[in-house]
């Protein structure tokens, strides 16, 4: 499934794509936001995190953070396929500019199935907001060596084939998603990625639930004022704790088992996330994330995705029923 997903492209249009509303773009005027009966900002609802903005800023734009109104007017007329961060081409070491057009990729979904969004809500040129160039910092030397070793070990295999001699923990860079354990865009941290991009937020005075559409992961976040994050039990989704910073809910997440599906498995067990949820208007919830993994990237970095209300409820995501996809992957690899 993900081989078809990761054939998504930026193309020339994505170089002109836009990010939706950000917290920093809100007018200085006071905006009346919905609140719960106990006075906290109401974050609840089914939210759509689609955006047709590139995750990273096209290099040729340098430090240009936003387009002019004239540029935005031209861009608004074009539908752009979403740029998926950390896709298989980068993990395999190929240049990130090497993408195939969705409609031309053999074995891929056609453009009908991809849902990157078409609405221009703001004029930003990338989801990454820090560093100022809108680009993810370089990976570390140890991460470079790890990637080179993976390329060597997996030479001649595709994204979902086991490495020769591998099995449970070695189904390629997409092993969590292909085993239907963690979706490629579900996080943490959550990203925009091709399809099934809804998330339902449920909220009480002392807990928040983030229920993602893809694979139906439900992350329960205690809101208990900087509670310790240390635990002897490491999890695929990490351990999350939340606290209020004025009207922003801050969620600190650590204690990951290892690499996640985020950025195609580039993060590792040292990943520390600081997620921020800010209700900026009745129709916008801004999701901001600072990614800090000193063994994966040379510096922390931040991206921001605006969420808009979804038109419908969360629907079932069956992944591959009966896990026949996994059986066929292993059977095909064994036959090969």
What is the distance between the alpha carbons of residues 30 and 17, in angstroms, rounded to a whole number? 29
pTM of the model: 0.79
Report the pLDDT value the prediction gives residue 228, as an integer from 0 to 100: 60
Q: What pLDDT was estimated at residue 54? A: 83
Strands 284-292 and 218-222: unpaired
Q: What is residue 75's predicted lDDT score, i.e. its pLDDT?
A: 67
* pLDDT for the residue 85: 47
CA–CA distances in Å: residue 280 to residues 35, 208, 310? 12, 18, 16
Nearest to 198 by CA among 81, 309, 290: 309
Structure confidence at residue 15 (pLDDT): 36
In whole numbers, what is the pLDDT of the chain averaged over residues? 76
Stretches in the chain below the pLDDT threshold 70 = 1-30, 75-112, 116-121, 166-175, 225-232, 321-323
> Tell me, what's the pLDDT at 46?
96
């Amino acid at each position: 499934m993900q081989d078809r997903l990761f054939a998504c492209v930026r193309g020339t249009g994505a170089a002109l794509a836009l990010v939706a509303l950000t917290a920093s773009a809100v007018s200085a005027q006071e905006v009346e936001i919905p609140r719960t009966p106990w006075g906290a900002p109401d974050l609840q609802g089914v939210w759509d995190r689609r955006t047709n903005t590139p995750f990273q800023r096209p290099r040729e734009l340098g430090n240009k953070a936003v387009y002019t109104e004239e540029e935005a007017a031209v861009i608004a007329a074009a539908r752009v396929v979403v740029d998926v961060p950390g896709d298989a081409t980068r993990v395999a070491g190929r240049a990130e500019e090497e993408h195939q057009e969705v409609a031309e990729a053999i074995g891929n979904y056609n453009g009908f199935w991809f849902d990157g969004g078409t609405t221009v809500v703001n004029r930003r040129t990338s989801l990454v907001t820090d560093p100022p160039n809108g680009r993810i910092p370089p990976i570390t030397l140890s991460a470079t060596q790890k990637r080179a070793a993976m390329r060597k070990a997996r030479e001649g295999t595709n994204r979902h084939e086991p490495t020769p001699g591998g099995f449970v923990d070695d189904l390629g860079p997409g092993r969590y998603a292909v085993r239907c354990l963690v979706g490629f865009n579900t996080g943490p941290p959550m990203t925009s990625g091709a399809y099934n991009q809804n998330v339902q937020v449920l909220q009480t005075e002392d807990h928040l639930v983030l229920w993602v559409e893809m694979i139906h992961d439900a992350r329960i976040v205690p809101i208990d004022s900087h509670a310790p994050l240390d635990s002897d039990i490491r999890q695929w989704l990490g351990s999350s704790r939340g606290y209020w910073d004025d009207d922003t809910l801050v969620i600190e997440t650590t204690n990951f088992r290892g690499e996640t599906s985020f950025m195609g498995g580039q993060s590792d067990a040292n990943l520390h996330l600081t997620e921020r949820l800010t209700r900026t208007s009745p129709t916008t919830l801004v999701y901001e994330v600072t990614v800090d993994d000193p063994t994966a990237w040379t510096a922390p970095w931040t991206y921001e995705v605006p969420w808009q209300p979804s038109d419908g409820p969360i629907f079932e995501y069956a992944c591959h029923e009966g896990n026949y996809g996994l059986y066929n992957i292993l059977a095909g690899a064994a036959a090969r």
